[in-house]
Amino acid sequence: MAIRIRHAAETVKEMHEINVTPFIDVMLVLLVIFMITAPLTTVNVPVDLPSSTEKPAPRPDEPVFVTIRADHTLALGEQDVTADGFLSALSSATKGSKEERIFLRADKAVDYGSLMGVMDKLRSAGYLKVALVNLQGQEEGDEP
């Protein structure tokens, strides 16, 4: 019969520490999932955006207004212009300065394509400073 002597160093010790490695793995997987899905969920969310309360920038002394009427005719200031003579009339109104800010007004009935067509004409002519004009201080549907 063999006698075994137990030493104090050989006793089984219980571990009281939490293994956090699986927790970190799960959190990293969730982080990757949220990073991928978050941009995808914001694209198709319908939102009714509030209007701006910022005060408008001051107008120059002699602003250049381009107006698109409901029947898609153009006006430069108070004068009617044709689509063909629009750019030459605009050049004379701005005295040839391409840095002049152009204030573009459009009727509510004007479709987006017509508005973009006029903006493309302005951009191709070199007028890059275009401001869209709206009614300040009125809610949608209010009569002026």
Q: How confident is the model at residue 135 (pLDDT cuts 50, 70, 90)?
A: low
**What are the extents of the domains in the chain?**
64-132
Q: Which residues 6+ apart lie within 8 Å of 121 measured at CB?
A: 86, 87
Cα distances (Å, whole numbers) of residue 130 to 11, 80, 102 = 83, 19, 5
> What is the topology classification, in CATH, of domain 64-132?
Nucleotidyltransferase; domain 5 (3.30.420)
Closest C-alpha among 80, 52, 76 to residue 138 = 52
Q: How confident is the model at residue 61 (pLDDT cuts 50, 70, 90)?
A: confident
Q: How confident is the model at residue 66 (pLDDT cuts 50, 70, 90)?
A: confident
The model carries a pTM of 0.55
pLDDT digits (tens, 9 = 90+) for 73-113: 888 888 888 888 888 888 888 888 888 888 888 888 888 88
CB 122 within 8 A of CB 87: no
Q: d(Cα 71, Cα 111) in Å, to the nearest integer?
A: 10
